[in-house]
Amino acid sequence: MLKWFNFCFLFLISLQLTAQHQLQGKVQHALTLNALADADVQLVQQGKLIQRAQSNADGVFVFSKLKPGNYTVLLTLHQFKKEQVSVSVGSSPSQLINISLQPLSLIADEVLVRSTRMQKDAPGTFTNLTHQEISKQNLGQDMPSLLNLTPNVVINSDAGAGIGYTGIRIRGVDPTRTNVTINGIPLNDAESHGMFWVNTPDFASSTQSIQIQRGAGTSTNGAAAFGASVNLQTDVVAEKPYSEISSTLGSFNTRRLMLRAGTGIMDNGWSVDARLSLIKSDGFIDRSFSDLKSYFVSAARYGKKSTLKINQFSGKEQTYQAWNGVPEARLKGDFAGMQQLASDLWMSPADYALLLSSGNRTYNSFTYKNQTDNYQQDHFQAFYTYQTGKNSSWNTGLHYTYGRGYYEEFRPDEKFSKYKLANPVFGSDTLTSGDFVRQRWLDNDFYGLVSSWNLEKPDFNLVVGTGIHRYDGRHFGKLVWSSVGTLSDLEKNFYEGKSAKTDFNIYAKVNKKFGAKWQTFLDLQFRTIAYTLKGEDLDGSTYRPYDFNLNYNFFNPKAGVSYLLNPKAQVYAYVGVAGKEPIRNDIIQASGSSIPKPEHMYNGELGYKLTGRNQAFTANTYLMYYKDQLVATGEINDVGAYNRVNVPKSYRTGIELAYALRVSNRLTWSSNLSWSRNRIVEFTEFVDDWDLGTQVQTKYKSSPIAFSPDWVGGSSLSYAWFPGFTTELISKYVSRQFLDNTGNKARSLDGFFVNDVRVAWEKKMPFWFESVRITLQVNNLLSEKYEPNGYTFSGIIGGTRRDFNYYFPQAGRNYLLNLNLKF
């Protein structure tokens, strides 16, 4: 396979002819000198279009194989004045031009996210994805799939096909420690800190750009970034009216329809944009269907000194539960192991028969027809930006999110007393147990305000801002069916709890350039949280009352410095501190005397960036040192609950490399490779002895942190056969991951190497359509059998330790075919 790959690579290179003349340019903001991405660049000669390009994240565009002569370069970018530059080609084999674009007398949308984004030359570790990069990958899969090729990322999918419940880990950091914002508004759940992408289906279709910050970053809203941040910016204003239709068909009965349209800026200064998306998939795992609906509407008025923008978007999902995974014995087709599993876990005859008859990689333990997760989230955002001076602006935003939903489950042979019901009496017979269908509900409101004042000059940038957010949540459970029949008190909630959380932060960020070489960065944030929880929760068969009134205060300073070695190369250093409160489950599953302490992280980054004419290279090394990180140990507290506990010392350290090369005008290659060492300095594992009702302890030193692979790599090799037609080979490698924090190979995920192929054809149309694009993506081309996620628990039975490993297999070879029409 490797020999064949090398042969094809060398063969493609040999097809290229060295261009006689090449023209490379860089597009930048005339006032700030920042690079401008996504500019439409046309090369014209005597009124005829010769070539067309788009500036990348560094503002760079390239025209190759040019004949000597006089040309005109035409540049167009939203919210900037059109620019026209005359250039003479022929004086040298390669020419370089810099083009500055003047902003229109409109306040740009980018002000909305300036407080959370790192600027191009800022000293920090981050990756930017442009609208063009997002669009070519957006075939209907969840957002993590679009981020898969960014450095040090591992994604997973419960249903195995990238639609439904999907997850992402950056540097091994789980989603509860990854801060996500939309236009600077927090998106993570305020209590669990989790990010559930299934609640925002097809949001990529309304996303203009993404910045992924690794480490503590510069995020200043929401829960502290404890290893990574993902900042999304929604679509910016279009100058002209547009409409777009996108339809996808794929394996596992996957289908997606997306409609999008906008008015452009009308004579009265208003613009309106709207999107509707419908996505359905049966999933790779048995019965793991997804039914997703979403819409996005934005209205904005652009004036000479002010902008008013109102966004309203919503996502509604129904997914069949596939979160139990596939047991190891079923995955391996080990029938003796399945028999032992059924005995150890007291499986019913029906459940055991299902285990035996299911596919090795598609088994789902649930069969109840409505074993589904159902949730809807409605978002409202309003932003007002006012230009207070030539180089300054003030921005404020209001937001409100209403979330509600439940997951439903069938519960066989459970006691009536578990649900606070009296035992029903029929004549002389008293029933103590029956079958039930229950729903566990979450109903919440999240609202608040963000505000910032920005001063931006070519050598100085200051942002001073604040944010205050309020969360009101209600957790409750109710029964919707019983095998006994109608019960008078069936509608009563069998548990209920309420919580309120107020999160306030204030910050100041300064970027200062000293001469042409040095740039410094300082970010000071103070964050305070008031959190109250009261009610009771059901854990297994035990009701746990709780009543907490908690307060947390964090000071999160960050600083950095960069030095320009030459116009193409930069080195930087960064240090940052982040503090994070425990999540809801950490608190309510602890007794009053054992509430976990807040976590703290101390982050250092050293990096090098090179941007050349036909290549770009970044290298950085990092250390993320944790104090009191919360990890699962298997320990039971004094009220019989499993909860995460603080470990005094742990760390993540590693090296991340990224390289992009334009071999020719047709052949490009981008890649990244990360190596890391992730350790808990001292760790004690607790395993239940099911025979004696006690726990056995085992101590470890320098044990690996769960789900933190040593090696992660990605590659994209793209070849343009002719204008508009490209083929891309996408490769991903992830080394072994451990399911727990012991570093035991018996409880781990094997490494994997997966290859996808994407073929795209796009044509500008002279009549009915502006353009037509057809994309075929074949995922897992070689049908690699791999599992990027799983979980484990253990017990001692008859004096022998038994490990129960569960995995989430991903689909073999599968495809997505997309048709996109722009009008």
Question: Which residue type does 104 have?
Answer: L
Q: What is the model's pLDDT at position 153?
A: 97
50 C-beta neighbours (distance < 10 Å), count: 15
Where does the pLDDT of residue 222 fall: very low under 50, low under 70, confident under 90, or very high at 90 and above?
low
Residue 517 has a CB neighbour count (10 Å cut-off) of 12
Q: Assign residue 628 a region (left: φ > 0; alpha: ψ between -120 and 50; beta: otherwise).
A: left
Of 84-93, 307-316, 525-534, 733-742, the least confident? 84-93
Mean pLDDT, residues 203-224: 86
Predicted pLDDT of residue 242: 92
- 542 Cβ neighbours under 8 A, 6+ residues apart: 640, 641
pLDDT value at position 635?
72
**Cβ–Cβ under 8 Å, residues 676 and 651:** no
- Residue 17's pLDDT band (boundaries 50, 70, 90)? very low
pLDDT at 414: 92
Q: In what order do the strands lie in the sheet with 60-63?
A: 60-63, 22-29, 94-101
Average pLDDT value for residue range 242-254 = 96
Which residues, at least 6 apart from 574, have a Cβ–Cβ distance to it below 8 Å? 123, 124, 125, 215, 521, 558, 559, 560, 603, 604, 605, 606, 607
Looking at the DSSP assignment, which residues form a beta bridge with residue 544? 537
Q: Is the pLDDT of residue 109 over 80?
A: no
Least confident of 106-120, 221-235, 558-572, 715-729: 106-120
Q: Could you tell me whether strands 290-302 and 306-320 are parallel, antiparallel, or unpaired per DSSP bridges?
A: antiparallel
- Are the C-beta atoms of residues 608 and 570 closer than 8 Å to each other? yes
| CB 472 within 8 Å of CB 444 | yes
CA 103/CA 80 separation, integer angstroms: 4
Here the tokens at position 356 are: 């035996």
Residue 177 DSSP SS3: helix
* Inter-helix orientation angle 349-357/335-344, to 10°: 160
Q: If DSSP codes are grouped into helix, strand and coil, which group holds residue 3?
A: helix
Give the dihedral sign, CA 194/172/601/463: negative
What is the spatial distance between Cα 732 and Cα 144, in angstroms, rounded to a whole number? 14
pLDDT value of residue 7: 37
The answer on pLDDT for 740 being more than 80 is: yes
Residue 18 backbone phi and psi in degrees, to 5: -65, 130
Four-CA torsion 151, 223, 188, 56, nearest 10 degrees:
-40
What pLDDT score was predicted for residue 765?
Answer: 76
- Report the number of secondary-structure helices (H) and strands (E) in the chain: 7, 44
Q: What is the pLDDT of residues 450-500, one digit of tens each?
A: 999 999 888 888 999 999 999 999 999 999 998 886 556 667 899 999 999
Query: For 174-212, what is each residue's pLDDT tens digit?
Result: 999 999 999 989 999 999 999 999 999 999 999 999 999
Q: In what order do the strands lie in the sheet with 83-89?
A: 48-54, 40-45, 69-76, 83-89
Instruction: Count other Cβ atoms within 10 Å, centred on residue 457.
Output: 14
What distance in Å separates the CA atoms of residue 362 and residue 348, rounded to the nearest whole number? 20
Q: pLDDT-derived band of residue 45, with 50, 70 and 90 as boundaries?
A: confident
Q: Which pLDDT belongs to residue 800?
A: 93
Q: How many CA atoms lie within 13 A of 768 on its CB side?
A: 2
> 604-662 pLDDT, tens per residue?
999 999 988 889 999 999 999 999 999 988 776 555 567 788 999 999 999 999 999 99
How high is the mean pLDDT of the chain? 90
**Position 509 confidence tier, pLDDT thresholds 50, 70, 90:** very high
User: What is the pLDDT at residue 665?
Assistant: 85
Asked if residue 12 has pLDDT above 60, the reply is no
- 702, 660 in Cβ contact below 8 A? no
Distance CA 300, CA 383 (A): 9
pLDDT score, position 490: 67
668 falls in which pLDDT band (50, 70, 90)?
A: very high
Strand-pairing partners, residue 747, are none
Asked if 120 and 461 count as a contact pair (C-beta separation under 8 A), the reply is no
* Res 39: pLDDT: 86
∠ CA 401-323-740, nearest 5°, is: 105
User: How confident is the model over 377-431, as pLDDT tens digits?
Assistant: 999 999 999 988 888 889 999 999 999 999 999 999 999 989 888 888 888 888 9
Nearest to 679 by CA among 623, 608, 725: 623
Task: Tell me the two tokens of residue 539.
Answer: 């854990």
Is 721 a residue whose pLDDT tops 80? yes
- What's the pLDDT band for 5 if we cut at 50, 70, 90? very low
Query: Measured between alpha carbons, how far is 815 from 804 in angstroms, rounded to an integer?
Result: 33
Confidence of residue 574 (pLDDT cuts 50, 70, 90): very high
| pLDDT band, very low/low/confident/very high, at 13 (cuts 50, 70, 90) | very low
Q: Are 269 and 305 spatial neighbours (Cβ–Cβ below 8 Å)? A: no
Determine the pLDDT at residue 10.
Answer: 39
Q: What would the pLDDT profile of 61-105 be if each residue is shown by its tens digit?
A: 888 888 888 889 998 886 677 888 888 887 777 788 888 887 664
Q: How many CB atoms neighbour CB 302 within 10 A?
A: 22
CA dist., res. 372 & res. 661, Å (int):
46
| pLDDT score recorded for residue 116 | 67
Q: Tell me: pLDDT of 694 over 80.
A: yes
Specify the amino acid at residue 409.
E
Give the pLDDT score at 115: 61
Higher pLDDT: 2 or 775? It is 775
Distance of alpha carbon 505 from alpha carbon 509, whole angstroms: 13
Percent of the chain with pLDDT over 90: 68
In the numeric block, which tokens belong to residue 671?
Answer: 């890649």
Which residues have a Cβ under 8 Å from the Cβ of 227 and sit 6 or more positions away?
A: 170, 171, 172, 173, 177, 178, 214, 215, 601, 624, 652
SS3 329: helix
